[in-house]
Chain A
Amino acid sequence: MKKIVIDPITRIEGHMAVETLLEGGKVREAKSSGTLFRGFEIILKNRDPRDAARITQRICGVCPAIHAYTSALCLDDAFSIKDKIPHNGRTIRNLILGSNFLQSHILHFYHLAIPDYVDLGKVVGKVSPFIPAYEGDFRLSEEANANLATHYLQALDIRRICQEMLAVFGGKMPHNVGIIAGGATLTPDIDRINHFKGKLKEIQAFVENAVLPDVLTLARAYRDYFEVGRGCGSFLSYGGFVLEEGRFLQAGIVNSDMQFEELDPENIAEQVKHSWYADSESGKNPSREETIPAPEKEGSYSFIKSPRYKGKVYEVGPLARLMVNYFTKQEEINRVAEPLLKELSLQIEDVPSVMGRHLARAIECKVLVEAMSDWVEELIPGEAVYTEAEIPEEGEGYGLAEAPRGSCGHWIKISDRKIARYQVITPTAWNASPKDDRGIPGPIEQALIGTEIKDEENPFEVVRIVRAFDPCLACAVHLVDMRGKDLGKYRIA
């Protein structure tokens, strides 16, 4: 049996290694491990609860806004003000988060994913950081290759403009200061609204003229990647973007038989049999769970816990949101998705795959630029953005929201007006989780298993599958690789 170990996996956020065991040219076993632990949940203890919206952003500099957003929802709940957030405050939060979605999706597609499909060196020159790289499976025509490479460079500007758009109400990026418990910090005026709109229009043009056509170009040239990396086949979404009337992107789950079910947060639990945590905490809902490291525990291989819903494995992210919103017939998603699926002659059941994840991300870009164009017009100049947020003596709360790369949840317990317990389940914890208590591998591991590796020297399939999930390893707050004795595993053996 052959082993392929890729350490480090680059063009993701954070530190990750992937190990696959091949038999007969196919992946028989897969292990994804993170190689860094910082201990955010431990650091958050005993702090002023309001600071969580600032500190949790530092979990990830690529998509910090979601942690500010989820943390603020969690604090609003614990402070008993979640129904009192002014319209302007809620809208500014959505505009900040939406800006970060666009930034993250565009960065992911062009700068993190495309180098696996487009020969950038051919266009930009054989210079660092475009060399060294895997060789062989670049299939685009010279013209299409040049076109996408040009968009790679343009997208550097566009993603920067997304950050600038975010800063209009968020102050700065990374790590905005605009989203706080109780609402937002900046009262909008006409000038800021126009500033935001101007940038959004520039981004909208790029989404329509580059992102969507480019994902189609890729989908046609790599059609077989609609059959690679299918994954666990079950999907979950907490629901994204809080509006007056409910969530803009729907919450729910879609099971492997393609049946939709309502989501009940009580069914979320973290299992730890294969993670370096005390087994006594396994299977607990995050509102009752403690993080007790047990780095010597036998049979464990990750500091990511295994979040499960009703004990089962679920994929989260743009693909999961597409599946859930397709089945709930969410209007905006379906309006954009239907013609694209038709153009590629795909049924919704065919979408779960490497290429389907890229397609879902592009669909979301289009849906969001349109929705944000409406939301920014709904801001009322001069009106309140904030409701007084009093820290209770004791309290509990949680916030659930959607990050660019999937479902994000924060749970808090407050004692003596300080944080007594804070738990975070990040999107990447769902997707990059290790085996659970029943020995069932996590979504990325499942997507790798069974994959045929054509060229072991250039195992494109492995990195394409992993990157399609857009993993954010710093996001997986519990993650660490404690196998000090076994760190010599970057070789292709």
Chain B
Amino acid sequence: MSEEYPVVWFQGAGCTGCSVSLLNSASLKFKDILLDEIVPGKKLNLRFHPTVMAGQGEMIINVLRDTEKEKKGEYILIVEGAVPTLNNGIFGAVGEKTILERVLELGKNALLTVAVGNCAAYGGIPAAKPNPTGCKSVKRVFAENGVDTLTVNLPGCPPHPDWMVGTLSVALRGLPLDLDEIGRPRLFYGKTIHENCERRAYFDKGKFAQKFGEEGCLYELGCKGPYTSADCPLREWNNGVNWVIGAGSPCLGCVEPEFPDSTSPFYRKLSWEEMKNEKNCD
């Protein structure tokens, strides 16, 4: 009998893109994540996921309530999307409560919280200027409300499924998470895009693409690879089919704090200073 870890996947102010990215998981398939052990003797029990669960309405709000009570300190909370805080969080609600209330309640009693996607990790798209709904990251609303549950940030818009599955595997194995200063596991976010980029040789030779569809380094077209830390060039996306720069597009810097404000305009070359000055993560 495997040991089961209840998982609550809660969606705040987001787009469901992180959930869809998890469905795209190929090194472990979504089916395996749902039904099989992900590390020896341990499996996940996805009790709550609004996009895939069979139930609805009151019956699933009860699932949240029961998990919080019966599995106190034993469940993993995954948050996708930012937390709207303006006017006490009135801009987002699930069941009879605001997203803000639910994230705090669920977070307080969780074993571990994983903030998936740039929105949950740093505020992301809904927190972009002028942040009309006062969206904040999970860590920030936890800190402001005295919740001290260990929280891992897995930014990206969306994050790679391997980063999500890998982080859960590390945690369930009981291995150290080895987080960087902004809460990301070094295992996945340890090196810049630029370091391992397939077009790096062009940069070193000074050959820059001037127009989309051309050979050459994409730096002049606005690539944020030199300022962005993730292993996309080595891992590639969607079962290794391709990745952003592989498709001839500049990197958008979507794993960095204050994306999109800190890394846009996406198609204009930004200096290191422009990037750094904007960075202000919690």
Spell out A's residues near B (CB within 8 Å).
5-15, 35-39, 42-43, 46-48, 50-51, 54-55, 58-62, 64, 107, 111-112, 115, 120-121, 124-125, 127-134, 153, 156-157, 159-160, 163-164, 166-178, 180, 182-187, 195, 384-386, 388, 463, 474, 480-482, 484, 487-492
Q: Does B72 sit within 8 A of A, measured CB to CB?
A: no
Interface SS majority for chain A: loop
Chain B's nearest CB lies how many Å from the CB of A399? Answer: 18
Contact residues on B (Cβ < 8 Å of other chain), bracket:
35 or more
Chain A's nearest CB lies how many Å from the CB of B164? Answer: 13
Contact status B133-A38, CB under 8 Å: yes
CA distance A11 to B57 in the complex (A): 11
Q: Does B16 sit within 8 A of A, measured CB to CB?
A: yes
6 contacts between A and B (CB under 8 A): A11-B50, A11-B52, A129-B54, A156-B23, A163-B20, A174-B15
Q: Contact partner of B249 among A48, A164, A185, CB < 8 A?
A: A185
Check A15/B92 contact, CB under 8 A, given A38-B125, A43-B130, A43-B132.
yes
> Which chain B residues border A130 with CB–CB below 8 Å?
53-54
Closest partner residue, chain B, to A388 (CB atom): B211
> Which chain B residues border A388 with CB–CB below 8 Å?
211
Check A171/B125 contact, CB under 8 A, given A13-B16, A48-B265, A127-B45.
no
Contact status B125-A11, CB under 8 Å: no
CA distance A56 to B260 in the complex (A): 12
Contact status A128-B212, CB under 8 Å: no
Q: Does B183 sit within 8 A of A, measured CB to CB?
A: no
Q: Does B122 sit within 8 A of A, measured CB to CB?
A: no
> Which chain B residues border A176 with CB–CB below 8 Å?
247
CA distance A35 to B34 in the complex (A): 28
CA distance A15 to B20 in the complex (A): 16
Contact status A480-B91, CB under 8 Å: yes
Q: Does B24 sit within 8 A of A, measured CB to CB?
A: yes
> Which chain B residues border A183 with CB–CB below 8 Å?
212-213
Contact status B252-A54, CB under 8 Å: yes
Contact with A along B1-45 (1 / 0, CB 8 A): 000000000010111111111011110011100110000000001
Check A178/B96 contact, CB under 8 A, given A7-B57, A129-B52, A171-B237.
no
Chain A's nearest CB lies how many Å from the CB of B236? Answer: 9
> Which chain B residues border A124 with CB–CB below 8 Å?
35
Contact status B260-A55, CB under 8 Å: yes
Q: Does B157 sit within 8 A of A, measured CB to CB?
A: yes
Extra contacts besides A132-B55, A134-B55 (7): CB < 8 Å: A13-B51, A61-B20, A132-B62, A156-B23, A156-B30, A487-B97, A490-B57
